[in-house]
Amino acid sequence: MIILKHYKVDDVSYVSHKDILRVLQRGLKRAGVDVKYSQGYVPHMLTYTTTPVPLGVQSVAEYFAFECVSNVDKDDILLRYNKSMPTGMRAVASFYKDRNPNLAGIVVASDYIAESVEVLPKEIESIIGCQNYVISTSKKGQIVKKDVAPLIYTLRVEGARLYMRLASGNANLRADSFVNHLNERFGLNIKINDICRVAQLVEVDGKFIDVEEVLK
């Protein structure tokens, strides 16, 4: 199993997850990578991704896994893949695992950086101390109330930057929904495209570890 760590930045951040997956798969075809297909009436390329970022949110830590028909060199795959991909989706690292690491199942949190044009209020950090923190989110066109206190692990303000560690995976807090709430409550003007996922994390022995450490 080959796993590529790639970007989703600039204009590419506005491309939907389904279309991103198509581009990734076409990139493998253009690179001449012999990827395994499923068996059945409608065979499809066996590829796997982690939980996608919301539309418009950028990321420098996306992961794309696929199984090849024969043994291949991960570094050669990285080189060939990048030659066939747009700049905003280039891969920065490649990994090899004997079996599918099931990244979508083991990733439990993501780190984000949100950039503002103005210095942010330190008061934002006080949210971490709340036992309950309810925000309004949109789900299938309906506005719902959601207690997000258990889904926020880190909030740190450094000047005009906000560092966030939010739940990801089965228990998920969308970075765009949370930042929209902060904009309304604190009078901020952070745009969705000013948010970037910088790491995905798994939990090992009660500690968060970058998924890249698991793949090495």
pLDDT at 70: 81
pLDDT at 179: 96
pLDDT of 48-58, one tens digit each? 999 999 999 99
Question: By mean pLDDT, which of 8-22, 29-43, 190-204 is the weakest?
Answer: 29-43
Task: Write down the mean pLDDT value for the chain.
Answer: 92
Query: Looking at per-residue confidence, does 142 or 82 come out higher?
Result: 82
* 99-111 per-residue burial string, b: 16 or more CB within 10 A, e: under 16: eebebbebbbbbb
Query: Other C-beta atoms within 10 Å of 117: how many?
Result: 10
pLDDT of 63-106, one tens digit each? 999 988 888 889 999 999 999 898 899 999 999 998 888 998 99
Contact by Cβ (8 Å): 51, 103 = no
Q: Taking residues 115-136, report their average pLDDT.
A: 94
Evaluate if pTM is beyond 0.75: yes
Say if residue 109's pLDDT is above 90. Answer: yes
pLDDT at 149: 95
pLDDT at 170: 87
Positive or negative, the CA dihedral 103, 105, 106, 110 is positive
What are the φ and ψ backbone dihedral angles of 181, each rounded to 5 degrees? Answer: -65, -45
Tokens of 106: 């083991």
pLDDT at 72: 82
Q: What is the H or E stretch that residue 83 is in?
A: helix 74-83
pLDDT at 5: 96
